[in-house]
């Protein structure tokens, strides 16, 4: 494919008519949570978009993020956009290996200096000079710094890259850190989730392609288009919450009737992601629809925020022991003060009597 072809030209070359293109744009806008009025702007932008070079770095990760985006079976929107980018380095799926793979990365960096996008999945270990994860003899930290130096932008894909995720979970033996803790001088887009929703990944890329700029981000560096609202506010079970109808266990009548999972520990109210709207597996379902509360996987430190099955009104510590100890202290102090009071009372009586 000639690299100077625009996305519009490429789609036409593939036999996609203008109607097909409009349909593609309408569906893309829908998945990006753009208002339907933005479709024409998106169409104009995508029509002229140029093919970007992408270098994908995988660090402390489980490959779930790569699986999520590459495992779609039917041709989908995410494929169309994903196919369009020039993925010049991804060590899991690229044909080249060893020195050839690293050479491909160097070449892409050199040829697209200042223009390429770096996708990172996985956290970066910092402890002991980062020796806990290395590729081709280089630590993840070295590779990241080296690759990002001439990039246009970084996409932190998945919660590990965005916030440290599971590698960073207590006690964090490798000193795992998020990309944003290391790279300070480049625009970073966080696309968290464990894994992120595939269309969210491509949505971010599409937005970059169409509008030539990075999307608007929230305080945690996430694109507002996808992470603007919490799961709870977009959840189809929300009316049950409003009415105070909650499942108490995973197999009671309330659970079977699809009531709110708040009391079973659902983290939907404090989790910002598009699951409730975009859903998973081609829009089939999402965890809450399948009967399990949200575990908040797109939030920083989600692994260490108390139990997945504890409701949000519960504390994140275990109440029993310390409160019993506190009660014991209270009894001791109370008894002590009563004894002191009795003694002074007695003394007073004696005085009066004398």
Partner 1 sequence: MSSLDAIGVRVEGPDLKALARRNAEPILHEIRHALARLLESGEETVIDLRGLPLSDFDQDFLVGELGVGELECRLDALGKSVIQETAYHGVWLVTHFNAGEQIIGRFVEVTFVPAILKSDPIDIRSDLDRLTERLAAGLEEGSAGEVDSQ
Partner 2 sequence: MSLLDFARGPALEWSLIIFVIGVVWRLAGTFLFKGQKYLSKPKGTKFVSAGLMAIANKSFPPHELEKRITFQHYTGYLFHIMLFIVVFLFEPHIAFFDWALGISWPGLPTNVITFSSAVTVIILIALGIRRATDPVMKKLTTIDDWISWFLTITPFITGMMAFAHQNIGVRYEDLLALHILNVCLLLIWIPFGKLMHMFLLFPGRYQMGEKFEYRGVKA
The residues that touch partner 1, with contacts defined as CB under 8 A, are 14-20, 22-24, 26-27, 29-31, 33, 35-37, 39, 73-77, 233-236, 238-240, 256-258, 276-278, 282-283, 289, 291
Q: Which residues fall within 8 angstroms of residue 43, CB to CB, at 6 or more apart?
A: 21, 22, 25
Shortest reach from residue 16's CB to partner 1, in Å: 6
55 phi, psi to nearest 5 deg: -115, 125
Residue 343: name its binding partner from partner 2, partner 1, none (Cβ under 5 to 8 Å by kind). Answer: none
Could you tell which of partner 2, partner 1, none binds residue 234, using a CB distance below 5 to 8 A set by kind?
partner 1
**What residue has token string 């799961």?**
231
Task: Give the separation between CA 174 and CA 24, rounded to whole angstroms.
Answer: 44
| Short-list 275, 38, 54, CA closest to 147 | 54
> How many residues appear in the chain?
354
Please report, as residue ranges, which positions from 230 to 269 form the binding site for partner 2 (by CB under 8 A).
230, 232-233, 241-246, 248, 262-263, 269
Q: Least Å distance between CB 34 and partner 2? A: 21
Query: What does 181 bind: partner 1, partner 2, none (CB cut-off 5 to 8 Å by kind)?
Result: none
| Nearer CB in complex with partner 2: 93/324 | 324
Please give the residues from 313 up to 342 whose contact with partner 2 meets the rule CB under 8 A: 313-317, 319, 322-323, 326-327, 329-331, 333-335, 337-339, 341-342
Question: Which of partner 2, partner 1, none interacts with 338 (beta carbon under 5 to 8 A by kind)?
Answer: partner 2
Task: State the binding partner of 99 from partner 2, partner 1, none, CB within 5 to 8 A by kind.
Answer: none
In angstroms, how far is CA 51 from the centroid of its own chain?
26
Shortest CB 278 distance to partner 2, Å: 20
- Smaller CB separation from partner 1, 23 or 224: 23
Q: What's the CA gap between 66 and 188, in Å, rounded?
A: 19
Residue closer to partner 2 (CB basis): 138 or 312: 312
Residue 30 or 134 having the CB closest to partner 1: 30
Pairing state between β 134-135 and 138-139: antiparallel
Residue 345 binding partner per list partner 2, partner 1, none, with a CB distance cut-off of 5 to 8 Å that depends on partner kind:
partner 2
Q: Decide: 42 and 28 in contact? Cβ < 8 Å.
A: yes
What is the C-alpha separation between 8 and 27, in angstroms, rounded?
Answer: 16
Instruction: Give the angle subtended at the CA of 57 by the CAs of 195 and 283, to the nearest 5°.
Output: 25
Q: Is the dihedral of CA 194, 200, 202, 205 positive or negative?
A: negative
Q: Which two three-digit tokens encode residue 49?
A: 């978009």
DSSP per-residue codes, 193-252: SSS--HHHHHHHHHHHHHHSSPPPB-TTS-BHHHHSSBTGGG-TTHHHHHHT-B-SSTTS
Q: Considering only residues 214-233, where is the footprint of partner 2 by CB under 8 A?
A: 230, 232-233
| Residue ranges binding partner 2 (CB under 8 A) | 230, 232-233, 241-246, 248, 262-263, 269-270, 300-301, 305-306, 310-317, 319, 322-323, 326-327, 329-331, 333-335, 337-339, 341-342, 345
């Amino acid at each position: 494919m000639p690299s100077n072809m625009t996305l519009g030209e490429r789609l036409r070359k593939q036999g996609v008519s203008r109607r097909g293109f409009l349909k593609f744009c309408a569906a893309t806008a829908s998945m990006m949570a753009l208002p339907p009025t933005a479709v024409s702007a998106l169409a104009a932008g995508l029509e002229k978009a140029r093919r970007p070079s992408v270098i994908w770095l995988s660090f402390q990760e489980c490959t779930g993020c790569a699986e999520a985006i590459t495992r779609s079976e039917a041709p989908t929107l995410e494929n169309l956009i994903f196919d369009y980018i020039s993925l010049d380095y991804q060590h899991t799926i690229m044909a080249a290996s060893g020195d050839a793979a690293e050479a491909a990365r160097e070449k892409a960096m050199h040829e697209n200096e200042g223009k390429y996008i770096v996708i990172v999945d996985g956290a970066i270990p910092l402890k002991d000079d980062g020796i806990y994860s290395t590729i081709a003899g280089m630590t993840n930290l070295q590779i990241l710094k080296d690759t990002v130096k001439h990039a246009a932008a970084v996409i932190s894909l998945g919660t590990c890259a965005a916030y440290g995720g599971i590698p960073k979970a207590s006690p964090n033996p490798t000193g795992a850190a998020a990309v944003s803790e290391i790279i300070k001088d480049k625009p970073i887009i966080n696309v968290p989730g464990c894994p992120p929703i595939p269309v969210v990944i491509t949505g971010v890329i599409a937005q970059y392609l169409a509008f030539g700029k990075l999307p608007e981000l929230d305080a945690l560096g996430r694109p507002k288009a996808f992470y603007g609202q919490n799961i709870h506010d977009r959840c189809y079970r929300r009316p049950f919450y409003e009415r105070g109808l909650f499942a108490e266990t995973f197999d009671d009548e309330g659970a079977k009737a699809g009531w709110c999972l708040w009391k079973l520990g659902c983290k939907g109210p404090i989790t910002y992601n598009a699951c409730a709207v975009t859903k998973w597996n081609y829009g089939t379902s999402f965890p809450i629809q399948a009967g399990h509360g949200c575990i908040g996987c797109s939030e920083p430190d989600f692994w260490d925020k108390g139990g997945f099955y504890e409701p949000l009104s519960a504390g994140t510590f275990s109440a029993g022991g310390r409160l019993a100890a506190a009660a014991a202290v209270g009894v001791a102090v109370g008894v002590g003060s009563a004894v002191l009071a009795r003694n002074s009372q007695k003394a007073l009586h004696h005085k009066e009597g004398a």
